[in-house]
Amino acid sequence: MPRKSTRLTFAVLATGAGVFSMLQSLIAPALPTVQHALHTSQSTATWVMTAYLLSASVFTPILGRVGDLIGKKRTLVAVLVTVAVGCLLAALAPSIGVLIVARVVQGVGGALFPLSFGIIRDEFAPSEVSGSISNLSAVIAAGGGVGMVAAGPIVTALDYRWLFWIPVGIVALATLIAVRYVPESPRRAEGQVNWSGAALLSAWLVALLLPLSQAGVWGWGSARVLGLFAAAVALFALWLYSEARSRTPLIDLRVMRLPAVWTTNTAALLFGAGMYSIWSFLPGFVQTPSSAGYGFGASVTAAGLLMLPMLVAMFLSGVLSGRLEPVLGAKTLLTTGAALGAVACGFLALWHDEQWQVAVVAGLFGLGIGLAFASMANLIVGSVPADQTGAATGMNANIRTIGGSIGAAVTGVLVTGHLQPSGLPYASGYTHGFTLLALLCLAAALAALLVPTRRGGRTTGKARAAHEVTAVEQETVAHG
């Protein structure tokens, strides 16, 4: 077997990124089980999700940039080992505190996304890059769906700890194959990690995402929430100032200002708000007892099966986008994906009385996710210098996550702002929430229309993008 096998390389990248994506949603349906098994409160159990979110947000862009500098394979292997250790620690965790620490360790795996995209760009033939990125994006998107579908059966048949034991074996095998067969990328960025920029980036991300994830417990008007939001604004401004003055910025702001990059990131922020909110609230909606006037009283397993059309549609449309992108262009696919999300959420706001209706809408939204994921990655990779791939795609993933946190927080206010005497949300809360998500996805589609037009189905505004990238590189040399 040849050492440089793109099939094996892709299999390793898809396995690692898919497992990390699965870990995002796999534990969510099992949180009540974890809470009971580890004798903790509901508010403490939510930190199992929050710790993972914060860790991934911090490490995704930072380690993406580290990969650009010291080598993507070396960084990839280190991240895979870390994810395996995190899963092992979670499987053995004797207390909620240890499980939360394990989730922080697992969050390092967020760097698998930008590292994988960078390796594909460096190692695959130019004709294979777009399709491979689309296929990898399909796996990443589907991974979240697999987590929702598989959690119930795994917990029922085995135990919640097997939600982590299974990934341990998969990631360990992927690590061994990566060491042997994934080649080290020859392209390296010059300079060193801007650790002050990394610290400021981490600080403002935590200051922003922590209150968004905990505001329901702490209260939106509490001193902690308002204080952290104020700190996030101040730290963000300080980070921008630091990066603009640095000779070796962690995130090159000149690249972030490229038209194809900032418009794609704007669409990612808005679409992420809709996508993560659907993942968060649709299972809860179908699990609500019908006595509330809506919902179906579905079990965790049944709720996961209702999400199955979304999973299948995400994967198929993600793979299909790789074939459509050379013909239609990534801009068209991103616009279409976001528009499908808007249509799905609009239907859901009006059309949710039967389980088959929810399943159809879930499938429609899944089509949108698959198209949007693949096209966003292709737009970013095709628009930035090769030595900025990891950092740029890492920030795109991060911006999508930030959007998801904002969308979930605002939707949570709408859904749980007014409760029935039974403690369950009113149907109107979900209706208003789904309407908001439709508007957010529509705004994402409008943002996608601002992406510079692709010509010949390849890089957006190819000549223009090449000129802009060259200008960035020349400016870097001039300031070096």
The torsion angles phi and psi of 343, rounded to 5 degrees, stand at -65, -45
pLDDT at 391: 78
Model pLDDT, residue 475: 45
Same domain? 101 vs 36: yes
Q: Say what the pLDDT of residue 4 is.
A: 56
Structure-block tokens of residue 199: 């610290």
- CA distance linking residue 295 with residue 354, whole number of Å: 9
State pLDDT tens for residues 429-476. Answer: 999 999 999 999 999 999 999 998 755 444 433 434 444 444 444 444
* Cα distance between residue 88 and residue 76, in whole Å: 18
pTM, entire model:
0.81
Kindly state whether residues 220 and 290 are assigned to the same domain. no
Is the domain of 112 the same as that of 202?
no
Q: Where are the alpha helices (DSSP H) in 27-125?
A: 31-37, 42-45, 47-70, 72-92, 96-106, 112-123
SS (H, E, C) 324-386: HHHHHCHHHHHHHHHHHHHHHHHHHHHCCCCHHHHHHHHHHHHHHHHHHHHHHHHHHHCCCCH
When divided into structural domains, the chain yields a total of 2
Tell me which of 422 and 444 has the higher pLDDT.
444
CATH for 81: 1.20.1250.20
pLDDT of the residue at 363: 94
Token pair 């068209």 is found at 332
DSSP letter assigned to residue 29: G
User: Are both 106 and 233 inside the same structural domain?
Assistant: no
Q: Specify whether 79 is located in the same domain as 214.
A: no
Helices (H) and strands (E) in the chain, counts: 20, 0
Ramachandran area for residue 15 (φ above 0: left; ψ -120 to 50: alpha; else beta) = alpha
1 occurs within a structural domain: no
Q: Looking at the structure, do residues 333 and 453 belong to the same domain, yes or no?
A: yes
Span 273-299, pLDDT tens digits: 888 888 878 888 888 898 888 889 988
Q: Which residues 6+ apart lie within 8 Å of 398 measured at CB?
A: 57, 60, 61, 205
What mean pLDDT is predicted for residues 153-179? 91
Cβ 115 vs Cβ 76: under 8 Å: yes
SS3 state of residue 160: coil
Query: By the 8 A CB rule, do 65 and 251 touch?
Result: yes
Tokens linked to 431: 């209706």
How far apart CA 116 and CA 130 sit, in angstroms, is 13
The answer to whether 380 and 261 are in contact (CB under 8 A) is yes
For residues 124 and 254, state if they share a domain. yes
Across 35-49, 159-173, 416-430, the highest mean pLDDT is recorded for: 159-173
Q: Which of 140, 224, 235, 151 is nearest to 197 (CA)?
A: 235
Asked whether the predicted pLDDT for residue 113 surpasses 70, the reply is yes
Mean pLDDT, to the nearest integer, of 81-94?
A: 95
pLDDT at 150 over 80: yes
308 and 238, same structural domain? no
Last residue of a domain, one of 245, 267, 285: 245
Average pLDDT, rounded, for the chain: 85
Q: Name residues whose C-beta falls within 8 Å of residue 421's C-beta, 6 or more positions apart in sequence.
A: none
Q: Are 202 and 299 members of one domain?
A: no
Structural domain including 472 reads 6-194+246-479
d(CA 270, CA 32) in angstroms, rounded, equals 30
Q: What pLDDT is stored for residue 383 in this prediction?
A: 87
